[in-house]
Amino acid sequence: MGKKPTVAISHLGCEKNRIDTEHMLGLLVQAGYQVDANEELADYVIVNTCSFIEEARRESVRTLVELAEANQKIVITGCMAQHFQSQLLEELPEAVAVVGTGDYHKIVDVIQRVETGDRVQEVSTEPSYIADETTPRYRTTSEGVAYLRVAEGCDYRCSFCIIPHLRGKQRSRTIESIVAEAEQLASQGVQELILISQITTNYGLDIYSEPKLAELLRALGEVDIPWIRIHYAYPTGLTPSVIKAIQETHNVLPYLDLPLQHSHPEILRSMNRPWQGRVNDAIIKQLKTALPDAVLRTTFIVGFPGETEQHFEHLLEFVQHHECDHVGVFTFSAEEGTAAYKLPNQLPQGVMDARRDALMAVQQPISLKKNQNCLGKIVDVLIEQENPLTGELIGRSARFAPEVDGLVYVQGDASLGTIVSVEITDSDVYDLYGSVVLPP
């Protein structure tokens, strides 16, 4: 047998995409392929694309064009492959395969078929696959952190979102399967698990006939991992039983990522999230009472079709009133195939950009105040990087999720991938600064 080709992977998009990338890497390595970080040296470059919003698509297209211009053989996977499979093959002669979001586990077979001269189109119309603890995985995060997918797909039909079309219906893993993978990750020294899906608070609804996030959290409380963080927690799913599980499970952080998208009931109705307008204020109040140390992150969309100045003012006041720790703001992206694509009263990009900047200007002093509250405190920090020139360590406290929140810059000695005590001595809008506290 001849030598197997070398493969590089370019990862774009969200952490759900990242897990797909990690499984493709694991399957290729298990099958004996060499994986090289240098795309120029690889026989094939797999580009795991994102197609969530226009900006993400532009980044994916830019990457594909650059590789094509360098005469690389490209395998296109992920959301853009699912979305634009035929167009990609037509417009990029260098693309030797497109692989959909429910087909990444076939990557070894795809490469083998490409090697025989086939141009492969492996895209299931209704994605139905979900990896489990038996699927090989090669982690690409820092050594102390791992994402853990509890479910894939989505049954909601928010009018702005293309994800159900690209990822299929919700399909949850069993509690036993998730705990088994968590145990594997604990044995690799992982200190922080981040639970992800499209709607984590709906976990289990499809296989257990009711949401089972509370039961899952309690089961993960038995795993030897210090931090468990929940992403994509929709407000209506934060039931008393889930809140109680967060309170009573020692390693579940009181950090909640609530993608609220807007505050005004009329805009939420247009977004096909009418239920949310009734619960936003109540759930945030309830969370702050039940979990006094809760860290709240949310995202908003500004410039949704029909958003008036009054609607936007409502959102500004909501952000000022509730003082969430972290806020991300996106401008509306009209996605073909979604209900919002055809809505009247689409706003100019300039108006949307101005509203995004205005909302962030309101949030920044809130974020600064939250960070200043940490001054003088000793907090646990997961050390993830070291500046080779200065020796300065970089990590995150429990208040900060990777990629989307701030960092803690640390003076002193500590090993990468460990959690250490740090006294916070300074802060700015996004980051904290401190020194390792030596044991007595």
CA end-to-end distance (rounded Å), the chain = 61
**Ligand-binding site membership of 14 (annotated):** yes
**Ligand-binding site membership of 324 (annotated):** no
| Residue 223 one-letter amino acid | V
**Ligand-binding site membership of 374 (annotated):** no
- Residue ranges for the known binding site for [4Fe-4S] cluster are 14, 50, 79, 154, 158, 161
Residues making up the binding site: 14, 50, 79, 154, 158, 161
